[in-house]
Structure 1
Amino acid sequence: MNDQVRDQLKRPLRDLRISITDRCNFRCRYCMPEEIFGANYSFLPSDKILSFEEIERLSSIFVSLGVKKLRITGGEPLLRRDIAVLIEMLSSIDGVEDIAMTTNGSLLKKHAKALAKAGLSRVSISLDSLNEERFLAMNGNRGKVKSVLEGIEKASEAGLQVKINMVVKKGVNEQDIIPMARYFKERNHPLRFIEYMDVGNSNGWRLDDVISKKEILHQVNSFSPIEPLAPNYEGEVATRYRYVEGGEEIGVISSVTDSFCSSCTRARISAEGKLYTCLFASDGTDLRHLLRSGLSDDEIAESIRNVWQHRSDRYSDERTSGTSSERQSKVEMSHIGG
């Protein structure tokens, strides 16, 4: 075992990402291409998806193993009925310090106030362009920029911390880097640029489609000079910066050109209860089966601990231009969230 892999195995488990549905009201080119996830696509039946009580129990077990932060993802999490009830259940777990959600924002206007009241702290909202035509091209011709922007403002008004996630793909929306930077600088909402990644097997990823962190920062700096910021915490995946004039924050998530495998502290649970130790994993551990087999919390915790301590994921470190065709069994992004 080389030193880098050995160091990775020592990383604590601090951040749990929970997908609560595999359904989405968009068909984003990034993770749910319409030609694959069309109207007749068979999503998980309700009895295969973890119940709120099972999610609460698993979350409590993960907190006992050191997790401090929970993030609710999808699919689109706001499609799950009574989502505020789940947030309230999770916020009552002793030891949880932060509950966040990743959403496309299209339904956020309706739910923001109730989510904040239930205990949600933060939302990360996916928005790849302010241009309606390019926005529709990226999300499968569904939704409106206006509805997402309204959701952002309602979330802010409700007291939620707001971040914007923009996936940048060459030949599609790189011309939107500066307009997005300008718009959210003016509104003091942190913007995260995300290098286009080979999530799952269905988005047709090519290395040539990637706009690198270096290129993104060059564009932003030409709009308004920036300077680096220290990480908020160990294992933070975004490299943070602030504008010299004004101090507003931006960041870049660069798993393609500047990987961060060795500092990863994140585990992911899919909607049907499989544990994945990497966003690019091929296989997961079936926690739903353990939950429904009558095992105690301690027994389930021991199984999780064993999986985490023996993980050896280094996909972003090992990625090559031919990776997408070499490895066809990665879990889909739409299945486990970001």
Structure 2
Amino acid sequence: MTGLAPITFVEPRSYPSYAADAPALDSYGRRIDYLRVSLTDRCNMRCVYCMPAVGMKFLPRPELLTNEELVTVLRAAAAAGFRKIRLTGGEPMLRYEIVELVRAIKSIPGIEHIAMTTNALRLGKLAGPLKEAGLDRVNISIDSLDPQKFRQITRGGSLDDVWAGVRAADEVGLRPIKLNAVVVRGMNDDEVIRLAALTTEHPWEFRFIEVMPLTGVAGLAEEGVISTAELVARISAHFGPLEPYGQDPSDPARRYRIPGAPGKLGFISAVTDPFCATCNRMRLTAEGRLHLCLLRDDELDLRAAVRSGAGQDEIEQLIRHAVYVKPWGHGLPEGVLPTLRGMSQLGG
């Protein structure tokens, strides 16, 4: 097999058998060991690059994986070689019993690291309990340092609440803290220098992310993409030439540092400078579909497997099969756009 259309569960015996206790490799030899897990498609913001202003339909709760079902899937994923889990959404801290869920995931043999991408609106209260439960660190979205513009971009979010979350995360040790901004031309690109300057004051990593053409915001993406080359040129013109910083081959960010700064800069360019050759990740949607590539529609329905009574070994084989047929990369250069899901349904 060379690829998957969006498919549902079939009997595991109809799939090839993959060796247990071995790293999960795709057909291109990439080791896939990083799973981004969407806990909910709901969010307490409505960011313009993530959701349309109206028309969102959220999943009924019975369609979501229960915490018990999710832990079952993650035990199988760990057995298949996944080592790093990132909890995403929507907004992951809207998930019921989030602290207990983090504790349960941390106890799974083989899981070495749990991170979370959050808008931080609830992090001020939950940073301590989440750290105690086993959360290792957080990425926090902050697209503007101007409170009014922040409200406009997020359609109602409070910048003060986000900063309270950042401070709480720093105080309890959810480090290294990474801050994310989706940069859109004409929306917040005039703040690039101010955002980058945060790394001259704090030992944080600030990441600039290209807006991506997902369902509901494709028009914004087409008009608003700013390349990494342009961002680096702007920042260098202000601070001087940026210093390249050590690069993890599986990290999608190109990393630099402003000379003398305690923090770092990262640039994630899925559109203009894709990193498919070193991709090590897959995504699990809140309703239990294994999504093979962010910018493609290929999926495998694991919820159906769990609710059909499949055991951990069978689910592990399904996951290994999905890993093996993972596409090489997205189809944007050929004009292939994803149509099934928006960003809030995938967790980025």
TM-score over 0.5 (shorter chain):
yes
Which position in structure 2 is the counterpart of 1:36?
A: 55
Q: Work out which of the residue numbers 160, 165, 190 in structure 2 matches 1:151.
A: 165
Residue in structure 1 matched with residue 19 of structure 2 by the alignment: none
2:301 corresponds to 1:282: no
How far off is 1:133 after superposition? 2.4
Matched, 1:167 2:210: no
Equivalence for 2:345: 335
Show the counterpart of 1:25: 44
Question: How far does the alpha carbon of each residue in 1:37-70 deviate from its partner, in whole angstroms, 9 at most, with x for none?
Answer: 3xxxx31111111111111111111111111100
Q: Structure 2: how far apart are the matches of 1:250 and 1:147?
A: 23
Q: Which one-letter code corresponds to 1:319 in the other structure?
A: L
Conserved in 2, the CA contact under 8 Å of 1:239 and 1:253?
yes
Query: How many angstroms apart in 2 are the aligned matches of 1:334 and 1:7?
Result: 26
Out of 26, 33, 39, the residue aligned to residue 14 of structure 1 is 33
1:281 Cα offset (Å): 2.1
1:328 and 1:254, CA in 2 relative to 1: closer, same or farther beyond 3 A? closer
- In the alignment, structure 2 segments of 5+ residues that lack a partner are 3-24
Q: d(CA) in 1 for partners of 2:160 and 2:202? A: 15
Which one-letter code corresponds to 2:188 in the other structure? Answer: N
Shift of 1:154: 0.5
Tell me which stretches of 4 or more aligned residues in structure 1 moved more than 3 Å. 205-208
Alpha-carbon displacement from aligned partner over 1:161-211 (angstroms, at most 9, x marks no partner): 111000000011001111111134312211000011112244423434111
| Greater CA drift, 251-260 or 28-37 | 28-37
- Deviation digits for residues 51-110 of structure 1 (CA, Å, limit 9, x no counterpart): 111111111111111111000000101111220101100111121111000111111101
Aligned residue number for residue 245 of structure 2? 229
For 2:161 and 2:27, how far apart are their aligned partners in 1? 41
Q: Alignment partner of 1:205: what SS?
A: helix
Which is bigger in relative contact order (C-alpha 8 A, separation at least 6)?
2
Structure 2 Cα separation of the partners of residues 196 and 8 of structure 1: 29
Please point out which of 235, 240, 249 is paired with 1:220: 235
- Which of 316, 329, 332 is the equivalent residue of 1:319? 332
The two structures, once aligned, show a CA RMSD in angstroms of 2.0
Q: Is the 8 A contact 1:280 1:331 kept in 2?
A: no
TM-score (norm 2): 0.88
Give the counterpart of 2:115 among 69, 94, 100: 100
Instruction: Write the distance in 2 (CA, Å) between the matches of 1:120 and 1:311.
Output: 28
Corresponding pairs, count? 324
Q: Which residue does 1:187 correspond to in 2? A: 202
**What are the Cα deviations for residues 210-231 of structure 1, in whole angstroms up to 9, with x where unaligned?**
1110111112222323211122
Question: Could you tell me the percent identity over the aligned residues?
Answer: 39
Structure 1, 98-107 or 203-212: larger mean CA deviation: 203-212
Please give the secondary structure, in 1, of the residue aligned with 2:55: coil
Q: Distance in 2 between matches of 1:328 and 1:195?
A: 16
Match of 1:119 among 90, 112, 134: 134
Aligned partner of 1:70 among 85, 106, 118: 85
